[in-house]
Amino acid sequence: MIARVASMDHALLLACGGILVLLAIATAIGQVLRVTKPPSATIVNLNQRIYAWWIMCLVFGLTLVVGPTGSLVLFGLLSFLALREYVTLIKTRRADHHTLFWTFFAFTPLQYFLLGIKWTGFFIVIPVYAFLFIPAMMALAGDTTAFLERAAKIQWGLMICVYCMSYAPALLTLQIHHGFGPDAKLLLFLVIVCQLNDVLQYVYGKLFGKRKIAPNVSPNKTWEGFIGGALTATAIGAGIWWLTPFSPPGAAALAFMIALLGFAGGLVMSAIKRDRGVKDFGNLIQGHGGILDRMDSVIFAAPVFYHVVRFFYGL
């Protein structure tokens, strides 16, 4: 373990140090607010969120130290839990039982296994094979009620919770030129920009938010929050260009893209929650909600980020 940490390069250590400093500052602010302001639900929630951030950073950091396998196992588990939150929320019928079993225990692990052995089949297993397998299984089960709807919902969940999510650890297998080997730093760049963008959109929204973007979907998403968050996240992305094979303008452009996609992910997931009449997908992460509530932006940003990086910087 210590050898692993020692062998991590300076850029990676610097980024981890930066995250620790950021967490410490957030914790200090949270505690000052708790002591000086009258007690309120917002401050309690803020401190819960900061506490949960420590845990999330710790878990994420540890899996990075363990190596690619660590990240694969972590994201595999996140996919599994996200899919569980998703199917709990949608309506399924009894006849879907076997199809769901295969979705959870065959396609989900298979996706991460294929990534682990770096076989390019990971691009097509869910969009093609699962896509055909799911309706076939369901037809065999013999229940035709809302057939297409049920098949589409399961396929959609698999695409979002497993396929799109798996693009995040897939960054660890990406071959980049200029001697920038497959490396945890691309994943770190994606996660830092994505999550800071979420936090910043929330903070700017709370401070300056007035004009709602989609009031029917999410009352918390405002133009002020979106623009402030996206621009700051872009600046931060440009500021940590040294973590990546990108030039500073390239890093800024990619960070901006991540911010836009992250916003879209949050909006889509809000629409689903609104339709089903719930506030959060789950309550696994205190103060944040479920895995899908926290990962919605990464899920949308990861696949596009992967392909754009591969196109411009890949071998």
Partner 1 sequence: MNAHPLAGLIAGGARFVTGVNASWKEHRPEDRQTVFFANHSSHLDFAVLWASLPSHVRRTTRPVAAQDYWESGVRRWVAVDVFNAILVPRHGSAAPSSQRAAETIDRIAEDMGDAFSIIIFPEGTRGDGEEVAAFKSGLYHLCQRKPDLQLVPVYMENLNRILPKGQFLPVPFICRVNFGEPAAYAPGEDKAAFLERMRDALCALRSQ
The answer to whether 279 contacts partner 1 (rule: CB under 8 A) is no
Applying CB under 8 A, which of residues 11, 18, 26, 92 lies at the interface with partner 1?
A: 92
Stretch that binds partner 1, among 81-89, 139-147, 164-172, 209-217 (CB under 8 A): 81-89
Applying CB under 8 A, which of residues 30, 157, 209, 282 lies at the interface with partner 1?
A: 282
Q: How far apart are CA 226 and CA 228, in angstroms?
A: 6
* β-sheet bridge partners, residue 212: 222
275 and 216 in contact (C-beta within 8 Å)? no
The answer to whether 284 contacts partner 1 (rule: CB under 8 A) is yes
In a 3-state reduction of DSSP, which class is residue 222? strand
Radius of gyration of the chain (CA): 20
* β-sheet bridge partners, residue 285: 289
Q: How far apart are CA 177 and CA 266, in angstroms?
A: 33
Stretch that binds partner 1, among 27-35, 45-53, 88-96, 259-267 (CB under 8 A): 88-96
The answer to whether 100 contacts partner 1 (rule: CB under 8 A) is yes
The answer to whether 97 contacts partner 1 (rule: CB under 8 A) is yes
Q: How far apart are CA 220 and CA 207, in angstroms?
A: 12
What is the smallest separation between the CB atom of 95 and partner 1, expressed in angstroms?
10
Applying CB under 8 A, which of residues 12, 87, 193, 254 lies at the interface with partner 1?
A: 87
Amino acid identity, residue 270?
Answer: S
Residues 202-221 that bind partner 1 (CB under 8 A): none
Angle at 271 between CA 267 and CA 274, to 5 degrees: 130
Q: How far apart are CA 60 and CA 241, in angstroms?
A: 21
What is the smallest separation between the CB atom of 80 and partner 1, expressed in angstroms?
7
Number of residues that bind partner 1 (CB under 8 A): 17
In a 3-state reduction of DSSP, which class is residue 254? helix
The answer to whether 88 contacts partner 1 (rule: CB under 8 A) is yes
What is the smallest separation between the CB atom of 125 and partner 1, expressed in angstroms?
20
Q: Which residue has tokens 């363990």?
A: 66
Angle at 46 between CA 41 and CA 48, to 5 degrees: 95
The answer to whether 287 contacts partner 1 (rule: CB under 8 A) is no
Binding mask 25-64 for partner 1 (x = CB under 8 A): ----------------------------------------
Residues in contact with partner 1 by CB under 8 A are: 80-81, 83-85, 87-88, 92, 94, 97-98, 100-101, 104, 282-284
